[in-house]
């Protein structure tokens, strides 16, 4: 018998490859979303580099052969065991019994995303986890949408709609992760969504390559540099900017070497310029949408970059820019909460992807259910 409300655990790791976000919520899969419990587990550098290497190998070879290779199979087992241990740790830390969890939604790191080839692959073996935990697991969130001709991304607009839509208001919700994506909400009913372009990805890669750190903490390093306007003018002509929505990207879509080809440039200036470009994409989005936005609501790791957020406010008007914290939702855990929410929708046979959000032909359930039996 189906319940009105479920206790759901969502686990998410994005294109930044920084770690795993955990969120438990209670929800009816519609309007009620309450009692969030969140936590974050950072990847160590070796683990992160192993994922990067795997992504590089898969995107540089025949992915069908790679998926059958020892390298992928063995690492996927390691990743699955890693998730299992973290679930145990998370529940113990927060004094939550596993029997109180109705469903677990797992979106592991995407290692290959090519919707035009009919495939999107994430790490984590849901079958193994379902048996080990004796729980319903929902995974492979992108598959059904891609089968319906969609991009398989972004997946969270239905969650954004139920959290942030307002009657007679035009609201833009932006997630700045490795890749930035948007959800445009017009009143309570209209939703349009798409990926935008690089968010933190190029910034983080440049920090790692030139400053030997994972990211620009609070934008402190980019604040030492100046924007190189010639680079912005060149990047503003990138072909991805003129593609029609909805579109989707993955970690291989934007390579640092395609943006920076001169080592003689001041490193702080380049980092400042990469940061500015991420903000510029919001300005470009505004002009592309051709309508006045009442509120811009931001979430994701990028909101912690003070310089980036100031650039965004300068482009959009500070009086219209907010983070999800203003609405009592932690900006860092919106996506992990979203996958907990979407998992409940799937259990209740409610669609989560739509033609106007992913380009699919028909609305579809998001995720495949794995039963321990």
For the chain, 373 residues long, give each residue's pLDDT as a single digit of tens: 478 899 999 999 988 888 999 999 999 999 889 889 999 999 999 999 999 899 888 887 777 787 788 889 999 999 999 999 999 999 999 999 999 999 999 999 999 898 998 999 999 999 999 999 999 999 999 999 999 999 999 999 999 999 999 999 999 999 999 999 999 999 999 999 999 999 999 999 999 999 999 999 999 999 999 999 999 999 999 999 999 999 999 878 899 999 998 788 999 999 999 999 999 999 999 999 988 999 999 999 999 999 999 999 999 999 999 999 999 999 999 999 999 999 999 999 999 999 999 999 999 999 999 999 8
For the chain, the domain total comes to: 2
Tell me, yes or no, whether 103 and 204 share the same domain. no
Give this prediction's pTM: 0.93
Closest CA to 178 of 278, 287, 261: 278
- Tell whether 186 is covered by a domain: yes
CA 173, CA 308: separation in Å to the nearest integer?
A: 16
Tell me, yes or no, whether 143 and 162 share the same domain. no
Residue 261's pLDDT is 84
- Tell whether 1 is covered by a domain: no
CA 3, CA 5: separation in Å to the nearest integer?
A: 5
Residue 239's pLDDT is 95
Tell me, yes or no, whether 162 and 140 share the same domain. no
Residues in the chain: 373
Going 209 to 211 to 213 to 218, the CA torsion angle's sign is: negative
Tell me, yes or no, whether 279 and 186 share the same domain. yes
- Domain harbouring 220, CATH code: 3.30.420.40
Tell me which H or E stretch contains 203: helix 201-211
- Tell whether 133 is covered by a domain: yes
Tell me, yes or no, whether 50 and 61 share the same domain. yes
Strands 33-42 and 19-27: antiparallel
Residue 251's pLDDT is 78
Burial 164-200 (b: 16+ CB within 10 A, else e): bbeeeebbbbbbbbbbbbbbbbbeeeebbbbbbbbbb
3-state secondary structure of 261: coil
Residue 14's pLDDT is 87
Tell me, yes or no, whether 166 and 300 share the same domain. yes
Tell me, yes or no, whether 272 and 174 share the same domain. yes
Tell me, yes or no, whether 309 and 353 share the same domain. no
Tell me which H or E stretch contains 104: strand 103-107
Residue 68's pLDDT is 85
Closest CA to 291 of 197, 199, 182: 182
Residue 62's pLDDT is 75
What's the domain range around 299? 157-331
């Amino acid at each position: 018998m189906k319940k009105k409300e479920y206790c759901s655990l969502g686990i998410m790791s994005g294109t930044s490859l920084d770690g795993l976000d955990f969120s438990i919520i209670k929800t009816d899969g519609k309007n009620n979303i309450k009692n969030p419990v969140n936590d974050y587990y950072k990847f160590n550098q070796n683990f992160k580099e192993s994922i990067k290497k795997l992504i590089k190998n898969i995107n540089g070879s025949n992915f069908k052969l790679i998926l059958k290779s020892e390298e992928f199979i063995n690492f996927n087992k390691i990743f699955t065991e890693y998730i299992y241990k973290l679930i145990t740790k998370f529940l113990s830390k927060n004094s939550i019994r596993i029997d109180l969890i109705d469903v677990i939604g797992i979106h592991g790191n995407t290692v290959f995303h090519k919707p035009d080839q009919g495939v999107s692959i994430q790490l984590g073996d849901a079958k193994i986890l379902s048996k080990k935990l004796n729980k319903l697991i929902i995974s492979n969130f992108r598959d059904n949408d891609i089968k319906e001709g969609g991009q398989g991304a972004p997946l969270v607009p239905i969650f954004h709609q139920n959290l942030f839509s307002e009657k007679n208001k035009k609201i833009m919700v932006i997630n700045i992760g490795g890749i930035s994506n948007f959800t445009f909400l017009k009143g309570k009913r209209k939703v349009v969504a798409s990926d935008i372009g690089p968010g933190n990805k190029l910034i983080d890669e440049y920090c790692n390559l030139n400053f030997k750190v994972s990211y620009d903490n609070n934008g402190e390093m980019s604040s030492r540099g100046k924007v190189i306007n010639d680079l912005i003018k060149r990047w503003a002509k990138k072909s991805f900017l003129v593609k029609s929505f909805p579109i989707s990207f993955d970690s291989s879509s934007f390579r640092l070497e395609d943006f920076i080809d001169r080592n003689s440039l001041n490193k702080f200036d380049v980092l400042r310029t990469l940061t500015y470009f991420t903000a510029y994409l919001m300005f470009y989005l505004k002009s592309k949408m051709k309508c006045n936005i009442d509120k811009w609501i931001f979430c994701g790791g990028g909101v912690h970059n003070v310089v980036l957020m100031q650039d965004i406010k300068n482009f959009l008007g500070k009086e219209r820019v907010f983070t999800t914290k203003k609405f009592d939702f932690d900006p860092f855990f919106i996506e992990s909460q979203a996958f907990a929410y979407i998992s409940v929708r799937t259990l209740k046979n409610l669609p989560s992807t739509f033609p106007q959000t992913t380009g699919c032909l028909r609305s579809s359930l998001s995720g495949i259910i794995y039963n321990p039996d």
